[in-house]
């Protein structure tokens, strides 16, 4: 199969993007199980691109039940090097209004139930740097692509990732504000951690649907869903522009492409052949199978 260098994680509304054509469904099996949905692979702006609905089409998988590892491993199998994530978020700052877009540069983890690494079992210990959790070049390109599309585009800020599926309590929301966080969501940090281990450039397009419950405005699920739909068209156009501006053939100038270099703690001779084979798409250039 021809390599697919660009991936998009988001809702099913992104599949109907104008100009997305020559579409085929690709079902993949990974060492971590099945991804959320088949990947929809086609061309946008003349470039090969793969879309995946993180919650499955019809939004049937809750945040903590998403098989994040299978989703990201599948993108790696397809050859994805640049991954754009689009997701709805709540605002924790007055100036980040509903229908605004935020391209965060930091995350804060409030999840408790998720495995957020490909290296969680005995036999191979890997410690990857994650001080700067998104790709700066892809993030800048994504923010520039959203300019003039969304009412306002905010560069930088911290996305606090909560477990869900419930929204925050008022006390939690106030604490997040006191800590200076910008937006709150339920998915993107887990994706960012795995993208880093997969050496994939990752950036988040956070679509503000509401003020979190700290605000005097009462938030209802009906209002959130309304803004989700209103954000969809702007997200489609922003992603189309980002894909048009991306040059998949250009050498990546960020550290994402070599994120695993020097991060293996386990002595190579102790890493079994079965483990090497299963993780070959991730570690093959560092620990080749024939060396087992």
212 is catalytic: yes
By the 8 A CB rule, do 201 and 135 touch? yes
Which residues, at least 6 apart from 56, have a Cβ–Cβ distance to it below 8 Å?
36, 37
224-234 b/e with 16+ CB inside 10 Å = b?
eeebbeebbeb
State whether residue 214 is helix, strand or coil.
coil
156-173 b/e with 16+ CB inside 10 Å = b?
ebbbbbbebeebbeeebb
Looking at 37, 100, 105, 212, which residue is catalytic?
212
Please report, for residues 43, 136, 146, 186, 249, the alpha-carbon distance to residue 48 in angstroms, rounded to integers and kept in the order given.
5, 22, 21, 28, 12
By the 8 A CB rule, do 283 and 276 touch? yes
- Bridge partner list, 102: 154, 206
210 is catalytic: yes
By the 8 A CB rule, do 199 and 260 touch? yes
- E strand residue ranges, the chain: 6-10, 21-26, 39-44, 47-53, 82-91, 101-103, 106-110, 153-155, 158-162, 183-185, 201-211
State whether residue 106 is helix, strand or coil.
strand
Looking at 37, 100, 105, 210, which residue is catalytic?
210
By the 8 A CB rule, do 44 and 30 touch? no
Output the furthest CA–CA distance in the chain (Å, rounded). 62
Q: Which residues are catalytic?
A: 210, 212
């Amino acid at each position: 199969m021809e390599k697919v260098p660009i991936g998009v994680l988001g809702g099913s509304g992104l599949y109907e993007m104008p100009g997305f054509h020559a579409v085929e469904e690709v079902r993949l099996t990974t060492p971590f199980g099945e991804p959320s949905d088949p990947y929809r692979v086609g061309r946008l702006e003349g470039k090969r691109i793969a879309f995946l609905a993180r919650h499955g089409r019809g939004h049937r998988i809750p945040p903590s039940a998403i098989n994040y590892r299978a989703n990201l491993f599948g993108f790696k199998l397809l050859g994805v090097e640049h991954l754009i994530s689009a997701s709805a978020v709540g605002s924790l700052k007055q100036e980040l209004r509903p229908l605004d877009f935020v391209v965060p540069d930091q995350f804060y983890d409030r999840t408790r139930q998720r495995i957020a690494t490909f290296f969680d079992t005995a036999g191979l210990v890997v410690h990857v740097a994650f001080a700067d959790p998104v790709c700066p070049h892809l993030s800048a390109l994504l923010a520039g692509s959203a300019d003039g599309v969304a009412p306002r585009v905010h560069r930088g800020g911290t996305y606090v990732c909560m477990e869900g599926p419930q929204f925050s309590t008022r006390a939690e929301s106030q604490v997040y504000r006191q800590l200076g966080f910008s937006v709150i969501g339920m998915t993107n940090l887990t994706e960012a951690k795995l993208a880093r281990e997969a050496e994939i450039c990752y950036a988040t397009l956070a679509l503000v649907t509401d003020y979190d419950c700290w605000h005097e405005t009462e938030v209802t699920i009906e209002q959130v869903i309304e803004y989700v739909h209103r954000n969809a068209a702007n997200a489609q156009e922003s992603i189309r522009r980002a894909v048009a501006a991306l040059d998949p053939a250009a050498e990546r100038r960020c550290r994402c492409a070599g994120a695993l270099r020097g991060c293996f703690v386990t002595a190579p001779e102790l890493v079994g052949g079965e483990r090497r084979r299963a993780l070959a798409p991730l570690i093959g250039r560092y620990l080749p199978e024939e060396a087992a």
